[in-house]
A and B are shown apart, each in its own frame.
Chain A
């Protein structure tokens, strides 16, 4: 027997075992209901459609991993069940223990591990690195006029946002400051600087498939670009205290024209509400590229 056919012999016997009708019917039912409920579950509790330009990369990687581990899970399951059923004690035959110490067993194990490593880990790692490089790490250029910059200051238990306003400069009276609500334009790269006042938070936009920690004392960056208008969730993805569960908000993605009008008005209102003597209310920092 060649090593390959030896490798697959358990599957053959598994199929053979399935010929027993008492096993085949429940197995088919089980598989069918699992497939149906998996679909139902994803629809109801699964992730929403990705909205950002690189969001689909996350989803395809996620699906690939799910597929790979599901397949290997079933292979392992079959490898386990077949001998248990085939070689169980029967009238006139006792089950026997075997530690599998032969050279053949060792080689078999080694080959399977290497294949599993390549198919699962290395493959996933390579794809993930490619996606990171082409997506998440591929930040917009510093002098790109299309970029909208946002300073995000996390705190127990809110997100403070600062947009530069019409003058494009941070730390000026027309900066638009909002709490738990972020307004941004569609189809333009949004570049973010994240930090925190108190403890570690994690800025999470599930629909944009992006998440990054906000750490006190340091500025982290992230970017994304929304492809759709609408309102999407903002969450904190790092347990940050007793009211962590309350720490959520909304990002409103407006069309380009709506955003320009919104920004002009918000900037104007910010200017009206600005109190130059209230130094303690200022928290902008120098933008980090």
Chain B
């Protein structure tokens, strides 16, 4: 073979390869595919230019006396009780010399203040501009796509999402394990953000401690005037206290007891029932609704999206992924605290802590036994449905 033939064969072969390679299938040129657009409703909150710097300190509500008592034990030099912590002033700002006893923070971060208009004393917390700027920066980076750049819960990625991201203007929370109607403490919020909510795009956020702290402080300042953390009457509570788990050593016994309590307390009115109709009638005194093996939608939600109160289907524990139910303790705390605004009542106080724990174990056992195993679950549900 001469050099010339070798060369030209190579060239020819490569040209052949190229023509073969560039023979694109017909539909690649079909421009209907390239341009077909999806109609989305207009965004109410397009980001535009985002300013993250905050120049002024801000004031939000602080927790009550109990919290200061525990803090004073930890930092005796910083917190002290004074008979003259807060001073009445009249409308002209002139002190009337009448004092109310309360806690004093030597650093001046927390103050006890009198609100003239509402005629109410309350503790307030100062959040520095520096911390707010850091909190807002992180919020814009991690949270704003869903929770909105102003915290109204309607970020660009929030449209169509069910459950909708929380609006921090409403200052209503579902899963912080704080008795429904109260504001969650910083610790409760931090726990929630680090844990995330399963089955939603609200992930466990793997942020550093100081980052979460800054975000939490920033979120509090998103409350509109006289609502949430700016409301003088707001109660800030810690995670509901339901004591030690009485079934820690025997979860199976807890689950068994829980099956009884669950059906006795009528959870199957919204969630499905998981015993036969006769068994439920035996426990609860009357037979369950006809379609008791399916959940029933609860329309009285306190969570609004663009002015519309959304409804969330109560989960079927053997089918749906529940939000904050990784352990029996998590579930027991959710049940005890209730899900404010979502129709799920608070149970702490109406029934014993032991019953609440039992239900935690029962719901957890339902999840462990059937969730994510459609065939096994179908067989189980079939035994209840005929």
Contacts and interface: CB of A to CB of B under 8 A. Distances in A.
Interface of A: 3, 107, 110-111, 114-115, 117-118, 121-123, 125-126, 128-129, 133, 137, 153, 155-158, 160, 177, 179-181, 195, 197-198, 217-219, 221, 241-243, 246, 252, 254, 258, 261-262, 265, 268-269, 272-273, 275, 277-283, 285, 288
Given A110-B7, A122-B18, A197-B156, 16 more contacts: A3-B3, A114-B14, A115-B10, A118-B13, A129-B23, A179-B200, A180-B201, A197-B157, A198-B157, A217-B38, A218-B34, A262-B374, A272-B296, A273-B311, A280-B41, A283-B159
B145 interface: yes
B23 to A, nearest CB: 7
A102 to B, nearest CB: 15
Nearest to B377: A265
The 4 closest A-B pairs by CB, nearest first: A122-B17, A273-B313, A158-B201, A283-B160
A129 B20 contact: yes
29 contacts: A110-B7, A111-B6, A111-B10, A118-B14, A126-B17, A126-B21, A133-B25, A137-B25, A155-B201, A156-B146, A157-B145, A157-B201, A158-B201, A160-B160, A160-B161, A179-B201, A218-B37, A243-B203, A254-B374, A261-B374, A269-B316, A272-B295, A272-B297, A273-B311, A275-B299, A277-B308, A282-B160, A285-B38, A288-B36
Contacts of B287: none
B107 interface: no
Between A160, A197, A218, the greatest number of chain B beta carbons within 10 A of the residue's beta carbon is seen for A197
Nearest to B12: A118
B235 to A, nearest CB: 31
B247 interface: no
A158 B163 CA distance: 13
B interface SS class: loop
A155 B159 CA distance: 10
Nearest to A277: B308
Contacts of A218: 34-38
A280 B305 contact: yes
B306 A280 contact: yes
B85 interface: no
Contacts of A123: 17
Given A280-B159, A285-B38, A288-B33, A118 B17 contact: yes
B142 interface: yes
Contacts of B17: 118, 122-123, 125-126
Nearest to B19: A126
B248 interface: no
Contacts of A117: 10, 14
A157 B203 contact: yes
Contacts of A265: 319, 374, 378
B121 interface: no
B39 interface: yes
Contacts of A283: 40, 159-160
Nearest to B25: A137
B253 interface: no
B162 interface: yes
Given A156-B157, A269-B313, A129 B319 contact: no
